């Protein structure tokens, strides 16, 4: 009985609530921005000093949003699906799947993104996906 009470107290702590809120916040990137095209939602999702840590250089929030707009324009029917979510402390990891058609050619791309949440906003990002595959789809279909 003591273990059940301890587990219930652990699950009711703000840390668990924060973890769930952080997962919801990260999923909004895919739902609000990519799937709905609601770029105004970015003000509620991202910290003003957001940094996307790329392999060769970091990108600002403005650059990151410009890249998102680029992908949405290149693939107007792009649909992003959250396949898996893992959160611990201030970090959230999402395994995602992007699917689109481009001039009759299908694109299916899987990636993984890790975000750090600060004060209820996404503050940092690390992403991996096969960008060459997506760019080749654009080139092959005449963007």
Q: How high is the pLDDT of residue 103?
A: 79
Q: What span, in angstroms and rounded, lies between the C-alpha atoms of 137 and 143?
A: 9
- Per residue in 79-111, pLDDT (tens digit) is 999 999 999 999 999 999 999 988 788 889 999
Number of structural domains the chain divides into = 1
Q: Taking residues 100-125, what's their average pLDDT?
A: 93
Q: Which domain holds residue 47?
A: 2-140
Cα dihedral 65, 66, 70, 76 sign:
positive
CATH number where 116 lies: 3.10.450.50
Kindly report the pTM of this predicted structure: 0.82
pLDDT at 106: 87
Q: Note the pLDDT tens digit of each residue in 18-48.
A: 999 999 999 999 999 999 999 999 999 999 9
């Amino acid at each position: 009985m003591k273990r059940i009470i301890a587990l219930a107290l652990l699950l009711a702590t703000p840390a668990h609530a924060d973890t769930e809120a952080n997962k919801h916040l990260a999923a909004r990137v895919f739902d609000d921005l990519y799937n709905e095209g609601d770029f105004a939602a970015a003000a509620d999702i991202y910290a003003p000093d957001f940094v996307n840590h790329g392999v060769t250089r970091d990108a600002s929030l403005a650059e990151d949003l410009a890249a998102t707009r680029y992908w949405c324009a290149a693939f107007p029917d792009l649909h992003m699906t959250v396949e898996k979510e893992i959160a611990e402390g201030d970090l959230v990891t999402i395994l995602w799947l992007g699917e689109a058609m481009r001039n009759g050619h299908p694109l299916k791309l899987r990636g993984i993104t890790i975000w750090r949440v600060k004060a209820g906003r996404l503050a940092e990002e690390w992403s991996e996906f096969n960008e060459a595959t997506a760019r080749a789809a654009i080139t092959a279909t005449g963007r």
